[in-house]
Amino acid sequence: MARRWRRSPFDDMLRDLFERIDEMFEEEKPFEAWRPLVFGFSLTRRAGEEPEIREFGNIFPWEEKIEIKERKPLIDTFESDDEIHVIAEMPGIEKKDIRLNATKTTLEIEAETENRRYAEHVDLPAEVDPDSAKANYNNGVLEVTLRRAMPVRKGRPIKID
């Protein structure tokens, strides 16, 4: 029994991407100028929420002309009652090459070596205390933990006579 090929919504996108990559290789550029081409996406589905699709890599097939840019690391964000955890995959980078900057609502990740450059701006799901940030980098995986900001009490206590 022969299997039928089911058409995927990604078929046209992938065919277009491969055609553009073939065109890039036809251009006369020295081999040393080529860097790895990376494109991917992650799909996260949490109970009761809409699925979330995030792209990563250094090329994006929907752009008119494919240009090699800095890579977007694959990032996951997890929440607990009192903390927010951001995990970013950035292989080929050393700890000394990573720069992090946190505000109450965002985390900026940048890393650069001679061969690779990663950059991403992460919107955090809740306000955090930037001074509480702790980061760890091991085997290409960056983990950043930020404590949620304590809610500001509005109003003031009233004394009852």
pLDDT in tens, the chain (161 residues): 566 666 776 777 777 777 877 776 666 555 445 556 677 777 777 788 788 777 777 676 666 665 656 778 888 898 888 999 999 999 888 999 999 999 999 999 999 888 788 899 999 989 999 999 999 999 999 999 999 987 666 667 777 86
**Model pLDDT, residue 41:** 74
Query: CB-side exposure of 20: number of CA atoms within 13 Å?
Result: 17
**Model pLDDT, residue 1:** 56
> 11 by DSSP, 3-state: which?
helix
- How far apart CA 129 and CA 149 sit, in angstroms, is 5
**Model pLDDT, residue 19:** 80
Residue keyed to tokens 């090329």 = 59
Say if residues 142 and 136 touch (Cβ distance below 8 Å): yes
Give the residue extent of every domain in the chain: 10-68, 70-150
Residue keyed to tokens 């949620």 = 148
Length of the chain: 161
Which overall architecture, per CATH, does domain 70-150 show? Sandwich (2.60)
Phi-psi region of 155 (alpha: psi -120 to 50; beta: other; left: phi over 0): left
The 10s digit of each residue's pLDDT in 48-75 is: 878 877 777 767 666 666 565 677 888 8
pTM: 0.59
